[in-house]
Amino acid sequence: MPGQRFQDQPVTGPDTPTDDWQAPTSQARPVAVQRYRSHAPLVGILVGVLVVALVVVAVWASNRLPNGSAPTPGATPTSGPPLPSCPTPSSSWQAIPYEANASTTGCWAVSDGQWDGDTVTLHTTVTSDQGSLDIVFFALDNAQSSNQYDPIDGTMVTAHVASGQSATGTLVFSMPRGDFTLYMAKTPPVMPDLPVAALVIKG
């Protein structure tokens, strides 16, 4: 019959999908993602090796001496000869080394104080190992450090100590009995007197 041949054929149209057409998916292919990630550790290792190599080369270059010479033994700078140890005449004395300047060093020793009321007498010895200096002495009350006392008597109120020589004498102070600090100071041209050493005297 006319038109019969078209009845058994499937109807296709723009809205009917065929077997050869598949809807696109929004997900990326997992194989491609896996392939990309597999290269990341290798790249990181190569970058790390390159950085370490550059650091090693930089350190080697900074420590390399000119002309490939080796460091000279004993080239380390020193701060000067050590101060000498200072003996004392007896156990009732105390002594310390002093350094008035780079070329004047020696030892200073002081006896315990002999008190008579508010008057104290000290025996002292100043030795110069090298260099000469002119010295004076003064005391500060440890209870009130603003109170300064100059010696009122003695044979070492002022002294000159020549290089390699010693000066020995006495100092007499009038002050309230108690602990005080005795200072040895350089005299002019240093103004004011510049302390170079100090010892605490028990009251």
CATH number for the region 93-201 comes to 2.60.40.1470
Convert the pLDDT of each residue in 1-40 to its tens digit: 454 444 555 545 445 444 554 545 555 555 444 444 555 5
Partnered with residue 94 across adjacent β-strands are 110
Residues 6+ apart with CB under 8 A from 135: 126, 158, 159, 160, 161, 184, 185, 186, 187, 196
Convert the pLDDT of each residue in 120-147 to its tens digit: 999 999 999 999 999 999 999 998 878 8
- Give domain limits for the chain: 31-63, 93-201
| pLDDT of the residue at 32 | 47
Lowest mean pLDDT across 39-43, 142-146, 158-162, 169-173: 39-43
